[in-house]
Structure 1
Amino acid sequence: MRAVRLLLLVLGVAITAYGGWLLLPQLGTTLPWLIGGPVLHDLVVAPLVGLVGLALGRLVTNRARLAWIAAGMAASATLLLIAVPLLWRPPSAPANPGLPDRDYPLGLTVGLAVLWAVIVVVFVVATTVERRAANRRTDSR
């Protein structure tokens, strides 16, 4: 088992070194992306998500609803993350032939609207079920 682990370690180091060697010529254009992403996340995104989570934890007392809101926020963040390359093309840049030419802002808006509409429907259904169950309990007494 130890030999397999050592072989995997050596193979991983070799592949990483080869990837670094291939990256070396583009390092000037790639370095801002490699450094900027984690810095942007740590200085902007993570504190913002933490503050929103803290505020939601105090505002929403029902833990089941808080879980749905958190899931909606995670799905929204994923949609936004996927949409960034499609939305962030400089106006003067030619269209990417691998990407269909579509109205990406509209698609993102519709996707987010459908996502949150589903969450609102879940809330309405859950509230209705809870009220009916509460009415049945009070009626049976």
Structure 2
Amino acid sequence: MRATLFALGLAALAWGGWLAVDFATTSWRDTWQSLAIFISAPLLHDAVIAPVVGGTALLLTRVLPPAWHTPTKTAAAATGVLALLAIPLLWHPFGTPTNPGLHDRDYGTGLLIALATIWLIAALTALITTKRRQTP
């Protein structure tokens, strides 16, 4: 079973690599766009997003009670991921040819709604956990 999953993973990796090379070699514009995606996104994550999320989680862990640790760390990680995914559309709204129904929304408001939902769920989870620990 492991060998089968390993082989399927390698096949998916090879297919993704093939598609990335095919996209990057189509035109100069696509080559630069590919470099921006495959180089700047990991650098942005490692240099900015991961330290901010880690520092926020560490700070919240020191300040909040134990029942709040896991929900706030999870919400902080999800916030970092959503922010990283939203940056291209917030920064340069139509980096790709427009697709009716796909690009006709307010991405800033959508991001704020998603983040509010995540943090609300984290707070409710922490409150429920705190309540359960207090009841005998």
- How does the TM-score come out when normalised to structure 1? 0.61
Q: Say whether the 8 Å CA contact 1:95–1:101 is kept in structure 2.
A: no
- 1:84-123 alignment, distance < 5 Å: 84-90=87-93, 96-98=98-100, 99-123=102-126
How many percent identity over aligned positions? 30
98-107 vs 23-32, which moves further: 23-32
Unaligned segments of structure 1, at least 5 residues: 134-141
93-102 vs 34-43, which moves further: 93-102
- 1:1-141 alignment, distance < 5 Å: 12=14, 16=17, 20=21, 23-24=24-25, 25-26=27-28, 27-62=31-66, 64-90=67-93, 96-98=98-100, 99-133=102-136
- Equivalent AA in structure 1 for residue 24 of structure 2: L
Change (3 A) 1:47 1:33: same
Q: Say whether the 8 Å CA contact 2:57–2:72 is kept in structure 1.
A: no
Task: State the Cα distance separating 1:16 from its structure 2 match.
Answer: 5.0
Task: State the Cα distance separating 1:70 from its structure 2 match.
Answer: 1.3
Change (3 A) 1:75 1:90: closer
Q: Deviations over 1:82-129 (max 9, x none)?
A: 3333323358x8982241412222222122212212222222222222
CA distance in structure 2 between the partners assigned to 1:94 and 1:47 by the alignment: 30
CA distance in structure 2 between the partners assigned to 1:43 and 1:31 by the alignment: 17
- How does the TM-score come out when normalised to structure 2? 0.63
Larger Rg: 1
Q: Say whether the 8 Å CA contact 1:72–1:119 is kept in structure 2.
A: yes
- Equivalent AA in structure 1 for residue 58 of structure 2: L
